Chains A and B, each alone.
Chain A
Amino acid sequence: MSLTGKILTIYGNMVTAEVDGAIRQNAVAYCRRSDGVRLMSEIIRIRGNRADMQVFELTRGLKAGDEVEITDELLSLELGPGLLGQIYDGLQNPLPLLARKVGRFLEPGHYLPALDRAKKWAFTPVAKPGDRVRAATNLGRVPEGIFDHFVMAPFDLAGEWTVQSVKPAGDYPVDAEVAVLEQGGQTRSVTMIQRWQVRIPLGFYETRLLPTTPLVTKQRIIDTFFPIMLGGTYCIPGPFGAGKTVLQQITSRHAEVDIVIVAACGERAGEVVETLREFPHLTDPRTGKTLMERTIIICNTSSMPVAARESSVYTAVTMGEYYRQLGLNVLLLADSTSRWAQALREMSGRLEEIPGEEAFPAYLESSIARFYERGGVVKLPDGRVASLTIGGAVSPAGGNFEEPVTQGTLKVVGAFLGLSYARSYARRFPAIDPLDSWSKYTGLIDGKKVAGAHAFLKKGKSIYEMMQVVGEEGTAMEDFVVYLKSELLDTVYLQQNSFDDIDAACPPPRQKKLFEMVTEVLAHPFSFTDKEQARDLFFTLTERFRNWNYTAWDTPALKDAEAKIRECLTAGAAQTKEASHA
């Protein structure tokens, strides 16, 4: 049921065509270049018989009068087994395959099936003839890596259908018929492939639940101080170079979730390359398989067409919802949502919409909110609980958090991990600002104890600022020690060396142990004769904690390292005694 129109205007990636007939908003269209190449586009505005389209490719060479083919289908994805481990562009083109077919460059007009048609999957039926099913009811399953990938009744089924037949257990390709459904004399053939429109949330669940389980990132500053929860949302705003991408990369490696979806949205291609070249060689400690087997990369980097960048975050989130529907815990990392917002802005400008703040469109905030709302914990019809967690990097212009994208994001997320210039320049990584950041979630460690430690950071900072004014000599010994304690907490707990094999990932038991030891120091009643002596002891303590952080868990060496730390404390106590004798 496709319609044809004629191109009237071309300006950047926006094309307006004249069409006679019924046109659907957000339908996919193809602009046909005179050399026959078809450029995928999406209808984004309709005025009378004029359709404005964003073209997902370079528009070079299009002419007024060229034909446009307008489909009835909205921008959709192909979902099914085989998404894991893939690298797609924002429109779900598999990039490695594209490179093999088309060459080094992303020549416009090549669209390949997202799921491999040649690969066979070991299907086991779950439903049997006569069963009553609805959209998303499990009909069978195939193993995808370590997961059970359910073959579900089509998502667009209306009402209840009856299973007419199911294929016996065996190996089938994704596009083979594995079941037939029936309703009122109508039949429907089912394959392993589902299609879903990216701009509409995908979710067939009983209820949404509140996030209650911490998502372990193995980064101490996050898990202890600014925790994230399965099904929660968080953002990482920060100026360039503050460490947003590295933090997301670290999280994508170490996070305790089933599936990670990396949406490289309008940022550097090189950063995606790091992930796609390294992950196949890194082992996931939870499964013993490579990290790539739990990862999907959606890659629409900054030099790829900007309209596809806009849709790429929806592509990513739809895949996340799909794997949540399968009963898994999914983490979506988007870097950076600001680039997506800029893509909105570019299109809005071309549409000559009335601009809001910094020329962003008026609907920016609601678009951001709708995006994060797609995350969440759900209870599936069969009782299983699954989640989609969304973490978005934000790249504010000039590093100023008062801009529209950061502000719009802060309103809707559950945790704010704000990165600071000052901390990254001082090489205090991860450069999450411990005084500005917040989280509405609860983490691994008792909230009261965490608040106590956090108070030290605050106090330490104000003492430090005071020292800038009154000098060290004008600072009371007691305050000076609080300052040293807060520095210790910062250095050995908040900061983490992502290049050290051991320190890079700090699992919960290790975090708890370290937290205990550090709080013991915070509570320890040191007393020193002078500030040099105090500084000196804290140098030693810091060095010994650091060595503890670099020593493997459950080893005699770790016991030694701990004993070394305790030595400092008893030495401190001895000094206390001496001091009181004197």
Chain B
Amino acid sequence: MRKYYNRIDKIAGNVATLKAGNVGYEELAEVEGRGGRSFAQVIRVNGEDVSLQIFSGTRGVSTGDKVSFLGSAMRFSFSDNLFGRVFTGGGAPRDGRTALSDNLVMVGGPAVNPAVRLMPHRMIPTNIPMIDVFNTLVEGQKLPIFSIPGEPYNELLARIALQAEADVIILGGMGLKYDEYLYFKNRLEEGGAMSRSILFIHTASDPVVECLQTPDIALTVAEKFAEQGKRVLCLLTDMTSFANALKEIAITMEQIPSNRGFPGDLYSQLASRYEKAVVFEDAGSVTIMAVTTMPGDDVTHPVPDNTGYITEGQFYVKGGVIEPFGSLSRLKQLVNGKTRDDHRAIMDGCIQLYAKCREAREKRAMGFEMSGWDHKLLKYGDLFESKIMDLSLNIPLFDALSMCWSILADCFEPRETGIRTNLAEKYWPKKA
């Protein structure tokens, strides 16, 4: 039933255009020639001119290559057979095992009806005080780590993944270095989590278009498991590679760029992926933790900027720690009112004081006289950094809260902390 076409009219960037009839928008095609075989997707229909985005790129593609259309948009096999497997960003086996073809599901379907969403309500404990106390992670959340190359963002991602006790871990790697891929694989294996993990890995040397597909396939699979009632954690790293791939395609398609070469729909493109994070009313959940490396460490760059508007907070990893200013979990308030009655007060109080400590440090750096109050703040800042901010800490929430109280008591009088009186009375450590 497949119809074959033998003439490509135009090849530019990763896009080839040919004349074909009865072709659906976003339909999958196969291009076959001397250069090998690749899938492709219809990204524009203009009368009988059909533009295809070729997944493996157009290098070596000839105008005489054979093109056939598969009659539907991209699909991927979904079953428990996926566990423990590693695929390319485009969904081909990367682990040398057989390709799967049972139970094909459509990749990248419509959005979830907001009416069937539930408010996220379960805390994901990480035993990292900077997360648990100050920016609590919540099941169903979408949250990126904003960072720059060289920082331990992938380590943090792996650690959270292992700690989170998810039913299913899905890793979507985009533009990864090969050793980063191996790092994740080893961590998941060591942590005994590989049997509940599925990896979709696009490495820096793979075709760009496959980078675009990575999150779509990963999230489609995530969504399907969530529909079965599973709690799925999806890790996406690095979404900046994905955005750069979008930019490349947009330029090929001669779209008018809106900001630093990125297409005007960057926001919608990112959002349609991140919004797959969900807690279903009558099924499981998808939590998304992503990495967004910031070109030039600039948070106003279009990729982190648009991401920040979409995700439910962000962790800035800088200098090996989660920066307290700018880091945010918007969903924390959905859970931190139910943990312990001092949680919110500690969260606000400690950060406000730490902000003041930074001011005092600036004053000191400028050579000003330090008041008694400044000395208290300086002492507090040092303690806070060593006993709370350190990312290598591994302590449960309540212990971390108690630690905060004891640091406060080491440095201040209760009323200097700005914490409401009744809580201070209840939790202020009694002087021995």
The residues of A with any CB-CB pair to B shorter than 8 Å are 8-12, 34, 58-65, 87, 95-96, 98-99, 102-108, 239-241, 266-270, 272-274, 276-278, 299, 301-304, 306, 339, 342, 345-346, 349, 355, 358-360, 395, 397-400, 425-427, 468, 471-473, 499, 531-532, 535, 539-540, 542-543, 546-547, 550
Contact = CB atoms under 8 A, between A and B. Distances in A.
A303 B119 CA distance: 17
B371 A240 contact: no
A104 B228 CA distance: 13
B113 A104 contact: yes
Given A60-B26, A270-B117, A272-B114, A240 B271 contact: no
A99 B23 contact: no
A339 B227 CA distance: 29
A9 B114 contact: no
Contact of A269 (B24, B117, B264, B306): B117
Contact of B352 (A399, A427, A532): A427
A531 B370 CA distance: 12
Interface residues of B, number: 82
Contacts of B418: 542-543, 546
B265 interface: yes
B178 interface: no
A278 B418 CA distance: 30
A63, A65, A96, A303 pick with most chain B CB within 10 angstroms: A303
Contacts of B283: 104
Given A240-B305, A240-B308, A499-B337, A471 B258 contact: no
Contacts of A95: 113-115
B298 to A, nearest CB: 9
Nearest to A357: B258
B52 to A, nearest CB: 13
A241 B264 contact: no
Which one of A10, A104, A108 has the greatest number of beta carbons of chain B within 10 Å?
Answer: A104
Nearest to A550: B420
B272 A302 contact: yes
Given A9-B45, A64-B47, A471-B369, A273 B305 contact: no
Given A303-B271, A346-B265, A349-B255, A468 B362 contact: yes
B351 interface: yes
A35 B147 CA distance: 46
Contacts of B421: 543, 547
A427 B348 contact: yes
Interface string B238-280: 0000000000000000011111000111011001100111101
A60 B227 CA distance: 23
Contacts of A104: 112-113, 116, 227, 280, 283
Given A105-B112, A270-B120, A302 B45 contact: no
For A276, A342, A532, the residue with the greatest tally of chain B CB atoms inside 10 Å of its CB is: A342
13 contacts: A61-B73, A63-B22, A63-B24, A64-B47, A95-B113, A95-B115, A98-B115, A104-B112, A104-B227, A268-B312, A535-B371, A543-B421, A547-B421
A522 to B, nearest CB: 20
B113 A241 contact: no
Given A60-B26, A99-B116, A546-B420, 9 more contacts: A60-B25, A64-B46, A105-B109, A240-B305, A270-B120, A301-B275, A302-B267, A499-B333, A535-B373
A64 B22 CA distance: 7
Contacts of B302: 397
B371 A472 contact: yes
A425 B326 contact: yes
B110 A472 contact: no
A98 B112 CA distance: 11
Contacts of A349: 255-256, 263-264
Of the listed residues B27, B263, B351, B371, the one surrounded by the most CB atoms of chain A closer than 10 A to its CB is: B371
A18 to B, nearest CB: 10
Nearest to A297: B114
Contacts of A540: 415
Contacts of A472: 363, 368-369, 371
Given A61-B26, A302-B275, A426 B114 contact: no
Contacts of A63: 22-25, 45
Interface in B1-57: 21-27, 44-48
Given A270-B119, A532-B371, A241 B308 contact: yes
B313 interface: yes
**7 interchain residue pairs of minimum CB distance:** A471-B368, A398-B300, A302-B271, A303-B275, A240-B308, A359-B258, A303-B111
A346 B264 contact: yes
A400 B300 contact: yes
Contact of B119 (A65, A266, A273, A304): A273
